């Protein structure tokens, strides 16, 4: 097995006032920003101890030996055995990514910290098609707060009616469509929303409302995210 030792050139002049070390919180943000737009369902775990020496076997069978202080993260992708290590160098925040083939992660991964993070999502509109959303009564029958996860065309066709042509295509091998129905009274209208992954199989959808209003409001949101399994729990939170 070929061993690769990564060495970094260190300046002979050390100036403490110009060398700001990266904290663990800052390293968390670097990793979350890197994975924000991932189109796959990924869970991030962090080793809470600063690593002085860390070895990784890459997807090509090589061993990388990291010989500098760093924060180590493991990104676990659902539905595959191909995962990723993300290494943040403590001295300057440089990010190294290493693809790991058939690697389920460190043996003690269950002791690593789960990283909560904001998930990107994209609206799925029908406004420029000859289709409309249908079967609203299904949502009213389910209650005031409903989240429907759609993972194939057969499920989607239960909620869409088209006069001609068809609805916009979705690659359900990579995406899940979420339909969110929420009714509330005597609160302000919706002005923003945020989706976060808060646990291995749990998400929070925060709905931010304008304050100072007393109106009855109903929202119906439709957006696609990286594919998630049907047993995932999505909690709706009203924030005003």
Q: Is the pTM of the predicted complex or chain greater than 0.85?
A: no
Domain boundaries, the chain: 3-115, 122-239
For the chain, list residues with pLDDT below 70.
Answer: 1-19, 58-59, 101-104, 140-143, 184-188, 212-216
pLDDT in tens, 122-154: 999 998 899 999 887 777 666 677 889 999 999
pLDDT of the residue at 90: 94
* C-alpha triplet 116, 119, 123: angle, nearest 5°: 160
What's the pLDDT at 2? Answer: 41
Measure the CA–CA gap between 8 and 66, rounded to whole angstroms. 10
Give the per-residue pLDDT at 229.
85
Q: What is the per-residue burial (b if ≥16 Cβ within 10 Å, else e) of 42-68?
A: bbbbbbeeeeeebebbbeeeeebebeb
Q: Tell me what pLDDT residue 223 has.
A: 93
3-state secondary structure 6-45: ECCCCCCCCCHHHCCCCCHHHHHHHHHHHHCCCCCCEEEE
Q: Distances in Å between the alpha carbon of 233 and those of 75, 155, 196? A: 21, 18, 12
In this prediction, residue 187 carries a pLDDT of 66
d(CA 165, CA 54): 55
- CB half-sphere exposure, 79, CA atoms < 13 A: 11
């Amino acid at each position: 097995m070929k061993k690769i030792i990564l060495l970094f050139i260190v300046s002979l002049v050390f100036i403490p006032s110009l060398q700001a070390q990266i904290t663990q919180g800052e390293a968390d943000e670097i990793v979350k920003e890197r994975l924000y737009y991932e189109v796959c369902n990924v869970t991030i775990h962090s080793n809470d101890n600063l690593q002085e020496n860390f070895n990784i076997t890459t997807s090509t069978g090589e061993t990388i030996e990291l010989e500098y202080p760093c924060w180590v993260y493991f990104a676990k992708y659902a539905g595959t055995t191909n995962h990723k290590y993300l290494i943040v160098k403590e001295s300057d925040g440089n990010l190294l990514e290493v693809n790991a083939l058939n690697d389920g992660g460190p043996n003690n991964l269950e002791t690593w910290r789960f990283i909560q993070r904001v998930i990107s999502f994209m609206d799925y509109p029908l406004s420029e098609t000859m289709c409309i959303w249908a079967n609203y009564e299904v949502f009213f029958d389910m209650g005031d707060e409903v989240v429907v996860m759609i993972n194939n065309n057969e499920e989607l066709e239960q909620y869409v009616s088209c006069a001609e042509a068809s609805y916009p295509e979705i690659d359900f091998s990579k995406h899940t469509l979420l339909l969110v129905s929420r009714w509330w009274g005597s609160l302000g209208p919706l002005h923003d929303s945020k989706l976060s992954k808060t646990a291995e199989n749990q998400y929070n959808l925060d709905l931010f409302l304008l304050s100072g209003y007393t109106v009855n409001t109903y929202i119906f949101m439709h957006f696609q995210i990286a594919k998630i399994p049907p047993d995932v729990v999505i909690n709706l939170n009203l924030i005003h």
